[in-house]
């Protein structure tokens, strides 16, 4: 009897110990699940809260614009000014609620509703956040605003060290250099298997002729203009603030300035063809004017080159289409499948051939379009109706007699 009780007690003790072990193990599991991973990369956090520089009434672009009128109007037309309202951005934000996206689109902490201090379990979809007591909704609507690039530690940052200003100003040319552009335009990282940041404009540019030629992001995208920067002040070296890029507007009622990266060399077409003769057309595209790949940045961008032969009634007889851009697969994991973007100074020939089979009047059209997003993806984001997807950058029609 005594022996049985001892054996039973030993058994119970073993049971309790193993159960405790189990609980302890579970606790360890739970504590792993609740680990907050700190934010370490520069784009994972906002730009710390900024105070209004002495002499100014707010950080708002609108208020800078009271004195810097021209620059303000230029900036208003830039995509920087609507990086938050961008319909595709809003659609994607709503879907995933990945707050880290805000750090390049509304980068100042003052613009963000929440202060994010870490990621639960390292997952971007579960940020650890507290409400921001200094959240400024007006400033949020200004997206990449003047203060994003010009205000730090209670000072306006310029490059001249001018003291005859209405605000406390410091000169910091190193800060206002292309390094500033690269902080958002050159980030490659994997957020999770299906979400990736792939902005490589800086890397594309760094290794090529543009750097050797002394041109950088600022000299091409903010060309210099002699003018007074505040009405009544003497003329000085200034920089245009349109930030022209693709030229594809973000809203149908928005003007958008673009740059042309491609040099287009057309071919000749004869006015009359005989039966059995072949129409051969070679279109040459050279990335002559952008120091980086064309297209660059967002991997969804692409160009389409379309050749079309139609008859007298407008019926299409033959159509060929070529695409310049990247192709990605997003599921099960983000992966680049191909990339035939034109490298700086790269030259590519696009050929079209058609054999005339009967005597008839033909119309031959060559068209180049530049796209932000495919129709399918715009549809998927629910923005098909309202989001300008592409612009025509070249169109030529030739009439031919058979």
Give yes or no for residue 185 binding ligand HEC (CB under 6 A).
Answer: yes
Give yes or no for residue 105 binding ligand HEC (CB under 6 A).
Answer: yes
Q: Which of 236, 323, 359, 375 is in the footprint of ligand HEC by CB under 6 A?
A: 236
By beta-carbon proximity to ligand HEC, the closer residue of 234 and 314 is: 234
Q: What angle do CA 130, 87, 219 make, to 5 degrees?
A: 95
Site for ligand HEC in 280-339 (CB under 6 A): 289-292, 294-298, 300-301
Give yes or no for residue 371 binding ligand HEC (CB under 6 A).
Answer: no
By beta-carbon proximity to ligand HEC, the closer residue of 388 and 402 is: 388
Give yes or no for residue 205 binding ligand HEC (CB under 6 A).
Answer: yes
By beta-carbon proximity to ligand HEC, the closer residue of 149 and 269 is: 149
Q: Are 150 and 157 in contact (CB under 8 A)?
A: yes
Instruction: Please give the structure tokens belonging to residue 77.
Output: 């037309």
By beta-carbon proximity to ligand HEC, the closer residue of 35 and 203 is: 203
Instruction: Please give the structure tokens belonging to residue 317.
Output: 């007889």
What is the b/e burial string over 319-355, where b = at least 16 CB atoms within 10 angstroms of the residue's CB?
Answer: eeebebbbeeeeeeebeeeeeebbbbeeebebebebe
Site for ligand HEC in 242-281 (CB under 6 A): 243, 245-246, 259-262
Q: What angle do CA 348, 349, 352 make, to 5 degrees?
A: 150
By beta-carbon proximity to ligand HEC, the closer residue of 318 and 389 is: 389
Least gap, CB of 340 to ligand HEC (angstroms): 14
Task: Round to whole Å and give the CA distance between 51 and 29.
Answer: 43
By beta-carbon proximity to ligand HEC, the closer residue of 245 and 400 is: 245
Those residues whose C-beta lies under 8 Å from the C-beta of residue 85, and which sit 6 or more positions away, are 141, 143, 250
Q: Which of 46, 50, 72, 342 is in the footprint of ligand HEC by CB under 6 A?
A: 72
Q: How many residues does the chain have?
A: 402
Q: How many CB atoms lie within 10 A of CB 171?
A: 15
Give yes or no for residue 104 binding ligand HEC (CB under 6 A).
Answer: yes
User: Residues in contact with ligand HEC, total (CB under 6 A)?
Assistant: 98
Q: Any alpha helices (H) in 34-155, and if so which ranges?
A: 61-67, 69-76, 87-96, 102-105, 137-140, 146-150
Stretch in the footprint of ligand HEC (CB under 6 A) among 172-180, 275-283, 360-368, 384-392: 172-180
Q: Which of 36, 183, 310, 377 is in the footprint of ligand HEC by CB under 6 A?
A: 183
């Amino acid at each position: 009897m005594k022996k049985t009780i001892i054996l039973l007690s030993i058994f119970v003790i073993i049971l309790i110990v193993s159960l405790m072990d189990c609980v302890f193990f579970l606790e360890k599991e739970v504590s792993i699940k609740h680990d907050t991973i700190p934010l370490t990369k520069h784009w994972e956090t906002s730009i710390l809260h900024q105070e209004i520089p002495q002499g100014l009434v707010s950080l708002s672009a609108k208020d800078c614009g009271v004195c810097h009128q021209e620059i303000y109007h230029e900036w208003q037309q830039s995509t920087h000014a609507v990086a938050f309202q961008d319909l595709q951005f809003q659609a994607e934000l709503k879907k995933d609620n990945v707050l880290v996206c805000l750090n390049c689109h509304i980068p100042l902490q003052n613009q963000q509703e929440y202060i994010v201090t870490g990621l639960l379990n390292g997952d971007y979809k579960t940020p650890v956040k507290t409400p921001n007591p200094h959240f400024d909704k007006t400033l949020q609507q200004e997206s990449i605003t003047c203060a994003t690039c010009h205000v730090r530690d209670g000072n306006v940052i310029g490059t001249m060290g001018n003291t005859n200003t209405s605000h406390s100003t410091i000169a910091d040319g190193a800060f206002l250099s292309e390094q500033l552009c690269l902080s958002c335009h050159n980030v490659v990282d994997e957020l999770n298997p299906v979400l990736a940041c792939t902005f490589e404009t800086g890397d594309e540019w760094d290794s090529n002729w543009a750097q050797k030629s002394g041109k950088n992001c600022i000299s091409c995208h903010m060309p210099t203009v002699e003018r007074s920067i505040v009405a009544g002040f003497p003329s000085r070296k200034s920089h245009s603030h349109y930030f022209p890029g693709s030229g594809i507007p973000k809203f149908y009622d928005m003007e958008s300035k673009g740059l042309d990266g491609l040099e287009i060399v057309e071919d000749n077409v004869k006015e009359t063809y005989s039966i059995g003769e072949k129409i051969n057309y070679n279109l040459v595209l050279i990335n002559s004017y952008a120091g980086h790949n064309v297209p660059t940045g967002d991997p969804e961008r692409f160009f389409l080159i379309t050749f079309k032969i139609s008859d007298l009634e407008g019926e299409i007889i033959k159509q060929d289409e070529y695409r310049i851009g990247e192709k990605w697969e997003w599921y099960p994991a983000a992966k680049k499948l191909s990339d035939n973007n034109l490298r700086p100074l790269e030259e590519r020939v696009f050929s079209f051939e058609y054999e005339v089979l009967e005597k008839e009047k033909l119309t031959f059209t060559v068209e180049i379009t530049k796209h932000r997003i495919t129709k399918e993806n715009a549809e998927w984001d629910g923005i098909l109706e309202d989001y300008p997807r592409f612009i025509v950058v070249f169109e030529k029609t030739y009439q031919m007699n058979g």
